[in-house]
Structure formats: C-alpha cells, structure tokens
Chain A
C-alpha cells in the first residue's frame, strides 16, 4: 500500500537549519508531484511547498520562500525539504503528501504521519 514516512524533525535554535526526509513506497514515486504541509500546534493546515514529478517546477508558500528548498531523489523514492534560517513560527508538525495526479498537479491524496520541528532557544 502507499506509504510515506517522514524523518529528520527535532529541536533547533532560531536561525538554525534542518533537513526533513520523506521515504515513499507502494507507488511509482517518480510519476507524482509531492508536497510538504505543516501544522503549528493547535492551528490549521498550511501548505508549504511542492515539487513536480520530474523536478521541472517548484512552488513555495510566501512564508518560507527563500529559506526552504524542496527536492527529491527519484532513484531513492525520497522527498526532502531543507529548512534554513528557522524561526519560532516554523515550529510545527511537517507532513509530506503525495499529489493525486499522475504527471499533473492536483490536491494531496495520501499523507505521512508527520515529523515535529521545534524552533526554540
């Protein structure tokens, strides 16, 4: 079955960096766009970033543009997000999610369980 497993979360100081990973299995990873979505404690969902199946395009939320970089390794079925210049407001559970569209961009249809990032001194 389709499975997404995030890792790499932890506690980091303001201004620090962290790289999250998402291991995918159970589907043709290289055919689907992938998203990162986050949820601050007690808050709603915030879409963060997207990368197309072939890495031809990336999109970012304004709140992370210039600080976060999404990438993927289709040979390893793995999605990444590099987070630099972290701020307290980046504290959240980070979910990776598979796009519903094969070779197209739609909504998320399968989500991982999430990994927690805490930005605190």
Chain B
C-alpha cells in the first residue's frame, strides 16, 4: 500500500497570500495524483487530477505540480472560500490511498 503524507497538517495564511501544500508518496505514483477540497459538512470536491490538470470549473488560482513521489498544490491568492481541508490521493495502484489532509486556516 502506498502511504501518502501531507505537510503541514495546518497552514495559517492571510487572505490574498499564497499557500503551498505538499504531498509525498512512499513509492512513486507517476502523475496519478489528485487533490480534493473539503469544507465542513460537505463532500469533497475534485480540484486537480493527473498532478496538474484543473478539474472543470476550478479557478486558475489553484495549480498542481510534481510527479513520482513529490507533489505540490499551490493556491496563488487565497480567497475566503478557499479556507478548507485539502487531501491528496494516489490512483496509480490499488488500494487507492489518501493523505491525512492539510487544513488551511485564516491567519
């Protein structure tokens, strides 16, 4: 099983600032990596797939990069609606595995 490790656990950012979230895989997953956003009481929403492709309707301030074992989600200028928990997930192998999440909170 591929273990996904996200850092930091919590990120405190001021609105308008840049946020950089990291995700590391215990073994290579090629570019088969997705990012999801989850707000309290809501289902997760797909942001990024194939490590860097934005899902339909996702604003351009969200970008993903990386391949192999190291991945990054960048939010270029945080808006109020972006404060949430973010999860990475690999789909290179079964079982599918998620990181433990990074909470982005208002500084």
Residues of A participating in the B interface, judged by any CB pair closer than 8 Å: 35, 37, 44-47, 50, 59-62, 95, 100, 105-114
Contact = CB atoms under 8 A, between A and B. Distances in A.
A79 B94 CA distance: 20
Most chain B CB within a 10 A radius of its CB, from A37, A45, A106: A45
Nearest to A46: B98
A18 B65 CA distance: 41
* Majority secondary structure, B binding face: loop
Interface of B: 1, 32, 34, 36, 38, 42-46, 49, 55, 87, 89, 91, 94-101
Main SS class of interface, A: strand
Contacts, number: 59
Contact of B94 (A59, A107, A114): A59
Given A44-B100, A44-B101, A62-B1, A108 B46 contact: yes
B98 A109 contact: no
Nearest to B42: A113
B91 A44 contact: no
Given A44-B87, A45-B87, A62-B1, A107 B46 contact: yes
A50 B96 contact: yes
Contact of A106 (B36, B38, B49, B101): B49
